[in-house]
Amino acid sequence: MTLPRIALVSAVVLAALLVCLGPHDPAPAATIPARELLNREQRLSGASYTFDRTTSEALAATRIERPSEDADSARLLASLRAAGFELRDVGVPDKKVFVVEKSGS
């Protein structure tokens, strides 16, 4: 083998080794912010949610156990309620619009 071929083979082997041994994405966190869970439910169901600044801060600060990737809307809302949030239907005809409030506020 000539020197350029040896260098090329060595570079390919080294690159493959670095890819295999390099850093990988860490496992997802065990909990997520309640706001992320609400956003996920909104994408899943198409419902609209509104809340005030205090509730927004509570949604960002409250951590909820990460649901499975195939969790349905009912499970996501149950997790949100278990974390102390209430959802009230606004009653807009032909739309799903809810007000989110922290329980006790």
Q: What is the dihedral of CA 92, 33, 80, 87, to 10 degrees?
A: -30
Distance, CA of 92 to CA of 26 (rounded, Å): 42
Give the structural domain span for 96.
31-102
Domain count, the chain: 1
Ordered per-residue pLDDT tens for the chain, 105 residues? 677 788 788 888 777 777 777 676 666 678 899 999 999 999 999 999 999 999 999 999 999 999 888 889 999 999 999 999 999 998 888 888 999 999 875
Q: What is the pTM of this model?
A: 0.67
Residue 96: inside a domain, yes or no? yes
Residue 12: inside a domain, yes or no? no
88 forms beta bridges with 99
Residue 6: inside a domain, yes or no? no
CATH of the domain at 46: 3.55.50
Secondary structure class of 84 (helix, strand, coil): coil
